[in-house]
Amino acid sequence: MMEQAANPRVKALAFDLYGTLLDLNSLIPPCADLFGNQGQELCRLWRAKQLEYTHLLNLMARFEDYWLVTEKALIFACHRLNLACPPALQDKLLEQFFHLGLFPDVLPALQALPGYTLAVLSSGSPKMLQVALENAGIKKFFGQIISTSEVKSYKPNPLVYQWAAQKLGLKPVEIGLVSANAWDAMGGKSCGFWVCWVNREDLPWDDLGFTPDTAVSRLTDLPDILPPD
């Protein structure tokens, strides 16, 4: 666990969804069912392009719905790997974004945080977020589900984090951002959030001038780090 910085009075926790609460590796089995041993590489490239497209759209000051971005990333990945994926198969794979599995540490961690306002802050479109959280059985824990589509941009654009603070009615320092994506953690920290990086894979930190307040290897470590409100 990374050494913890002096803790602000955190009143709300904003959780990233994809890769933090929902496990994108749960896409591998359906991809493998369709494409055999290329299924895992398809998932890796699909996710990489999904993120790349959101970052490129930010740089170009443009916005496209995350569902469309996800579809375009899938089409590229299939073309890159020379996989035949007609529209019916594309729809079948895209549907899996509504049925992503939870990381095993998510439910016990959420159950141990009754003293905080909990929110989701994600790039997913509102429908994607609502349905995925409902299907995963954790929607009930979150008072707010904030989509970056509300500001027509994607993380780590500062507009996203500023909007989240406005929606929650709090100062950035009163909000804890919990994310497994280092670039998201940096974005939140650059805007004044208290940040917990969920580093399940024991990766090195990307040193670009901002560091998280703490890092954990399991989400279940989070309740012990945060003081009571």
Domain contains 132 = yes
For 66-93, what is each residue's pLDDT tens digit?
A: 999 999 999 999 999 999 989 999 999 9
Domain contains 71 = yes
Domain contains 5 = no
Residue 103 DSSP SS3:
coil
Q: Which one of 16, 23, 105, 213 is the catalytic residue? A: 16
* Domain span including residue 60: 24-98
The number of folded domains in the chain is 2
The runs of H, that is alpha helices, within the chain are 28-35, 39-59, 66-80, 87-94, 106-111, 126-136, 158-168, 182-190, 222-225
Q: Do 77 and 138 fall within a single domain? A: no
Domain contains 84 = yes
What is the CB neighbour count within 10 angstroms for residue 111?
12
Domain contains 207 = yes
For 29-77, what is each residue's pLDDT tens digit?
A: 999 999 999 999 999 999 999 999 999 999 999 999 999 999 999 999 9
> Can you tell me which residue has the tokens 């609502």?
130
Read off the CATH number of the domain in which 210 is found: 3.40.50.1000
What is the CB neighbour count within 10 angstroms for residue 139?
15
- Among 83, 98, 113, give the residue marking a domain's end: 98
- Among 65, 98, 131, give the residue marking a domain's end: 98
Examine the residue annotation and report whether 206 is marked as an active-site residue of this protein: no
pTM of the full structure: 0.93
What are the tokens at 130? Answer: 């609502």
Domain contains 72 = yes
Domain contains 175 = yes
For 165-213, what is each residue's pLDDT tens digit?
A: 999 999 999 999 999 999 999 999 999 999 999 999 999 999 899 999 9
Per-residue confidence (pLDDT) for residue 226, from 0 to 100: 82
Say which residues have a Cβ less than 8 Å from residue 82's Cβ, sequence separation at least 6: none
Q: Do 153 and 205 fall within a single domain? A: yes
